[in-house]
Structure 1
Amino acid sequence: MKKLLLLLIVLCTFGCKKYVVSFEQPTDMKLDKLKLEVFLDKKKIQEINLKATNEMPSYETAELSISDEGKHLLQVKVKDTTFSYDLNYPQEKFVLVTAHLKQNGKIHIGILKQQYPFRFN
């Protein structure tokens, strides 16, 4: 029984391919309760509601499962605008998504991609 459980843990650890996406919660109160719709390869995966804070930004992390290595499309829809980004697995396993409010009142979504986890202090 122990061997079966150990085998299951090893298979899940090495067999499951995932993107780890962290969503930065903004410090701009105008972005409070803003809804982001997240799509991976044109399939809706998750909805995130931003919670603004006056202090240091916090992060909400989600794991997005994929079936194969290679190029994938990450899309983030905000109101009537969709931001699209190409991701390469496994070179860009960790993604940080940030929402900004421009001076003209429009929202911009930016991302950082890297192979190793982000460190938040």
Structure 2
Amino acid sequence: MTEPVGLRLRGQPTGEYDDYGNPEYGPPTTKLVYGWIEPRTSGENTNAREQQTYGYWVNLPLDAPLAGADAVVLFGLPDNPNQTVTDGEEYHVIGEPGRQPGGFLVPGFIKAAVEKVTG
């Protein structure tokens, strides 16, 4: 697992509440973990320049705090984690992530489908 992946985690409760009685939280943090990213679905037109990727598969170590993440941020090359693959857009986990236990040759990992955050 060589690709840097950011997990956007909700900030700590401030102890204050909004007008609707919901707790307010401090600024979110991004935890950097290393995983593997693959295109999940794509659409293609006759012109190769019009290809779009709609989502990704993200494989992360079993101990990654994916369940507590509000969003997933996909980064670029391992030697330049500030270069984003997705222009800094956040992705949501779709469905329930799968867990692959480790074996003799491959360590265990979490496999999750992510889609672009809109709206």
Normalising to structure 2: TM-score of the pair? Answer: 0.27
Higher share in helix: 1
